Chain A
């Protein structure tokens, strides 16, 4: 056997270092994605009986189910609302925090709280303040003529809004952090030049700040869009009545009489939509 060149030896060492990672990702992420598609053509048994091949029946069933379409609509709306909401809020806060002021360090630390606190802890805090009659936020809102008896969290008509506002509240710090670090790297010469030309604050924002932020905003929108489209825990723990698709999948697969084949079919649909949207977005918006 020929002596390995240094290059080959290096390459071999490199492979050894990444191999464990590659194996477990392949086994526990890639394989399951395909296995999921496979399962979607079966009636998945929950006992020892073998799965029964049903072809496209699961898909037909879902597409004919009006509650699927309703969930689907809610999920799209949820994704748009939360992405736009968290970007607008994150942008505003980033602009505010880009100024020096006494106490900025403390405010910046506080701003991270919603994002870094374990979900389960803040979910209880939110449920507490939203409790009908007794909850402090409801009592406070009563001063402005709102009926404190409303149960926002557990009312299927309102749950969507509570869950969306909660998601925006929790995730805007992520957007703000990304935008702030980009803001701080914008060359101040641009602003000085614009001032000499007599540009107003608004003009400076539209003609300098926004174009500089374009790619960060677009990338953050993509990430948040993907994550929120899949979002399960924040929605489910906050209100089971918000009925987005991930919650729908979870309930089909793991509660009542499990229909895991159907759940797999919904997950596959979600997956295909997501992949195509990412493809279009990356081409059109990020222009890669």
Chain B
């Protein structure tokens, strides 16, 4: 009797686990499956692709030209015709072909590079600033420390929604929205501020776990405070520092609101979320490509997270999480 009950319980338990796994992975399974198909097969039933292909990945990553990018017959003929036209007309036709082709392209690599640069650099600057800040919070007594610490914590509850209008106005006023490069710079600054509070908090918590005695010994030996930070604190907290970096990186990698406000007029500077969303809303029947782009966007971040998971779980719960 007891046996039967426990069998039922085990069955129930595994059913729950299975349901949970399906619930969590269902959209991912389709994302991956569709990414290995041709655009035309995107809605073939069945989760295992019947004609698997790496085509879309090759196109995205620039190993292969897409059909859209190859000149259409019509355009080829036009190009041939153009050679016989007088100078002015030739220019007009060429410009038209050019703009047509631009509309059809899927500059995934450019989005990827922009996001990588922006997220990589802003997370790096934010990390440096917060290493110093967090050290001051965890080790040095000074007037106003408590106030600043609480201030940072409260600030990290203010969402981008509230800051969007005033930040835009401020950057317009100081002239940082006039060109692509300056708008990208505005984003860079904003991403630093967006990530600093969490970085500070997580690092501060970690630094407090490092025994003071190690530092004291070094200071007695004549090491300066700065030397303590670079020679003791940083090497000792490397796992935490990397975790925080990944976290800050991900916040910038994900960011959509400010990117869409600041760099929308400058397609050269689109980040992944903005670029992919624009393409999604402008073109049709490119599901395989959208899914492959999603996979390539997700993989670096997911891999980094999985590698850092054991540190992360501690850091997440200790530090709370900023989104």
B8 is an interface residue with CB less than 8 A from chain A: no
Report Cα–Cα, A278/B3, bound state, in Å: 50
Known contacts A232-B160, A267-B161; is-contact A35 B301 (Cβ 8 Å): no
Q: Cβ of A36 and Cβ of B166 under 8 Å apart?
A: yes
Interface size of B by Cβ–Cβ distance < 8 Å?
88
Q: Cβ of A118 and Cβ of B189 under 8 Å apart?
A: no
Taking CB atoms, residues of chain B closer than 8 Å to A124 are 31, 276, 280, 290-291, 293-294
Q: Which of B12-20, B73-81, B82-90, B235-243 contacts A (4 or more CB under 8 A)?
A: B12-20
Q: B169: which of A11, A39, A122 is its contact (CB, 8 Å)? A: A39
Interface residues of A in 33-65 (CB under 8 A from B): 33, 35-36, 39, 44
Taking CB atoms, residues of chain B closer than 8 Å to A31 are 166, 170
Q: Which of B52-60, B61-69, B102-110, B129-137 contacts A (4 or more CB under 8 A)?
A: B129-137
Counted as pairs of residues, one from A and one from B, with CB atoms less than 8 Å apart, the total is 247
Q: Cβ of A107 and Cβ of B20 under 8 Å apart?
A: yes
Q: Cβ of A28 and Cβ of B190 under 8 Å apart?
A: yes
Known contacts A14-B142, A36-B166, A119-B256; is-contact A128 B159 (Cβ 8 Å): no
Q: Cβ of A114 and Cβ of B152 under 8 Å apart?
A: no
B283 is an interface residue with CB less than 8 A from chain A: no
Q: Cβ of B25 and Cβ of A113 under 8 Å apart?
A: yes
Q: Cβ of A18 and Cβ of B309 under 8 Å apart?
A: no
Taking CB atoms, residues of chain A closer than 8 Å to B309 are 109, 112
Taking CB atoms, residues of chain A closer than 8 Å to B261 are 254
Query: Could you tell me the distance in whole angstroms from the C-beta of A108 to the nearest C-beta in chain B?
Result: 8
Interface string of B243-266 (1 = CB under 8 A from A): 000000010011111001100000
Known contacts A17-B135, A21-B129; is-contact A136 B165 (Cβ 8 Å): no
Q: Cβ of B165 and Cβ of A260 under 8 Å apart?
A: yes
Query: Could you tell me the distance in whole angstroms from the C-beta of A112 to the nearest C-beta in chain B?
Result: 7
Q: Is the interface of B mostly helix, strand, loop or mixed?
A: helix
Nearest CB in chain B to that of A109: its residue: B306
Q: Which of A79-87, A143-151, A186-194, A223-231 contacts B (4 or more CB under 8 A)?
A: A223-231
Query: Could you tell me the distance in whole angstroms from the C-beta of A25 to the nearest C-beta in chain B?
Result: 6
Interface size of A by Cβ–Cβ distance < 8 Å?
79
Interface string of A118-131 (1 = CB under 8 A from B): 11111011101100
Q: Is the interface of A mostly helix, strand, loop or mixed?
A: helix
B192 is an interface residue with CB less than 8 A from chain A: yes
B7 is an interface residue with CB less than 8 A from chain A: no
B167 is an interface residue with CB less than 8 A from chain A: yes
Report Cα–Cα, A177/B320, bound state, in Å: 11
Taking CB atoms, residues of chain A closer than 8 Å to B260 are 254
Q: Cβ of A33 and Cβ of B162 under 8 Å apart?
A: yes
Taking CB atoms, residues of chain B closer than 8 Å to A77 are none
Report Cα–Cα, A271/B265, bound state, in Å: 29
Q: Which of A66-74, A156-164, A202-210, A245-253 contacts B (4 or more CB under 8 A)?
A: A245-253
Q: Cβ of B196 and Cβ of A24 under 8 Å apart?
A: yes
What are 7 residue pairs bridging A and B, where the CB atoms are less than 8 Å apart in the complex?
A14-B141, A17-B132, A118-B273, A120-B276, A254-B260, A263-B165, A267-B165
B residues within 8 Å of A by Cβ? 13, 16-17, 20-21, 23-28, 30-31, 34, 43, 45, 47, 129-130, 132-133, 135-137, 140-145, 148, 151-152, 155, 157-170, 189-190, 192-193, 196-197, 200, 225, 250, 253-257, 260-261, 272-273, 276-277, 280, 287, 290-291, 293-295, 297-298, 301-302, 305-306, 309, 313, 316-317, 320-321, 323
Among all A-B residue pairs, the 7 with the closest Cβ atoms: A230-B159, A14-B140, A121-B294, A32-B166, A11-B142, A14-B142, A17-B136
